[in-house]
Amino acid sequence: MRGRDYRGFARDVGNPSFRKALISIHGMKTTGAWQKDINVELQEAGILHLPLDYGYALLSVVRRKKADAVALQIAEKYEHLKIRQPELRITAIGHSFGTLAIGRALQMVAEVRFERVVLYASILSRKYPWGKIAGRGQVLKVLNETCKSDKLPKVARVVLRGPTGSSGCHGFKDLAGSVVHNREYEWAGHSGLGTAAHCRDVWIPFILNGKIPPAA
């Protein structure tokens, strides 16, 4: 089902425009071109999109304060959306360093409450406390997209400070009951999932109704 079909369904059942919103956060050594690539699909699905661009960061990411600074930017965008439309149900999608920033935002700002979270090429620790986060009502469902051949999460565990690890390779251990779903891909590498097609086929159904399509 294409994005415009989801939007038509939402309209038919009386859902207001932009009932769902997405905050996306890119990784290091990039300004997140994939965030622009998924815009059309999100618009067709009636999902309000706020991409967070913290600039082309390389050496600065090794400092703990960089992840915390981006985490606070996430919290600011979240607050902006909620002030604008309090009824919005907000999802966060992060790639690589962006996953660390999402994790820190949830730990640092208790008021940040995502309906869903999508992580791909995650560099968060496999022991990240999702049970505690979910127990506080900060997230209802997490999709963690992994690839064992992706080496960068393992490097991040050594180089970067903070709750880092190889969850983007091997998944999270704390599934918070059934809140966290690890989904493995053989072909994705570190950046292969950031496409309009993947957004349409996987992310949009997950954002709109929490469904995770079967792996191809």
Query: What CATH number did the domain enclosing 172 receive?
Result: 3.40.50.1820
pLDDT of 5? 57
The answer to whether residue 177 sits within a structural domain is yes
The answer to whether residue 188 sits within a structural domain is yes
The answer to whether residue 213 sits within a structural domain is no
Residue 84 has pLDDT above 80, yes or no: yes
The answer to whether residue 147 sits within a structural domain is yes
Helix locations, 16-150, DSSP H? 33-37, 39-44, 64-84, 97-108, 130-135
Tens-place pLDDT, residues 127-182:
999 999 999 999 999 999 999 988 777 666 656 666 788 999 999 999 999 999 99
Residue 13 has pLDDT above 90, yes or no: no
The answer to whether residue 150 sits within a structural domain is yes
Percent of the chain whose predicted confidence (pLDDT) is above 70: 80
The answer to whether residue 166 sits within a structural domain is yes
Tens-place pLDDT, residues 172-212:
999 999 999 999 998 888 788 999 999 999 999 999 999 88
Can you give the residue range of the structural domain that contains 200?
Answer: 3-7+18-208
The answer to whether residue 216 sits within a structural domain is no
Residue 14 has pLDDT above 70, yes or no: no
Which strands form 20-25's sheet, in the order they lie side by side? 47-52, 20-25, 89-95, 114-120, 139-146, 180-184
Residue 97 has pLDDT above 50, yes or no: yes
- For the chain, how many structural domains are there in total? 1
pLDDT of 1? 44
Read off the DSSP letter of residue 124.
B
Structure tokens at 212: 């995770």
The answer to whether residue 189 sits within a structural domain is yes
pLDDT of 213? 78
